[in-house]
Amino acid sequence: MIVLDTHVWVWWLSSPDRIPARARRLVMEASKDSAIYISSISAWEILMLAARNRIEFTIDAQDWITRAEALPFFRFVPVDNAIAMRSVRLPEPFHKDPADRIIVSTSIILGAPLVTADVRIQKYPHVKVIWK
């Protein structure tokens, strides 16, 4: 079981070569067990990035998310009260980005490593990160 950060979710479907070989292999293995988890905040984040023209798809961003949701190896995790509360009470120091806080909290609550290229998250000692 693994959790994908928003950018890794996009890269996995559009340009998996951007993901280092070891991390890519672990995502592939998790996909065989339908054990790839994605926080629902990532859908929000993608739509926000698309609205600001910071990310582009060949189709409408909402349609891209809908198609990704239909893939059998992804499991989407709603932002419930436990995740929301944990995101506010993460041990410091951690930056203030709400989406990152929710994604990290999702990973911690699930007890699953987080696949991310985000160096700030990689340096955070309270979550297990897979990247290199």
Collapse the DSSP code of 111 into the 3-class scheme (helix H, G, I; strand E, B; otherwise coil) and give the result: coil
Reading the chain (132 residues) residue by residue, the pLDDT tens digits are: 999 999 999 999 999 999 999 999 999 999 999 999 999 999 999 999 999 999 999 999 999 999 999 999 999 999 999 999 999 999 999 999 999 999 999 999 999 999 999 999 999 999 999 998
H-type helices in 18-91, by residue range?
Answer: 21-32, 41-51, 61-69, 81-88
pTM: 0.96
What CATH number should be reported for the domain holding residue 51? Answer: 3.40.50.1010
Instruction: Give the number of other CB atoms < 10 A from CB of residue 15.
Output: 9
CA–CA gap between residue 117 and residue 132 (Å, rounded): 9
CA–CA gap between residue 68 and residue 109 (Å, rounded): 23
Domain range spanning residue 49?
Answer: 2-130
Tokens of 85: 């509360």
117: CB partners within 8 A, 6+ apart: 5, 7, 8, 131
Q: Quote the number of domains for the chain.
A: 1
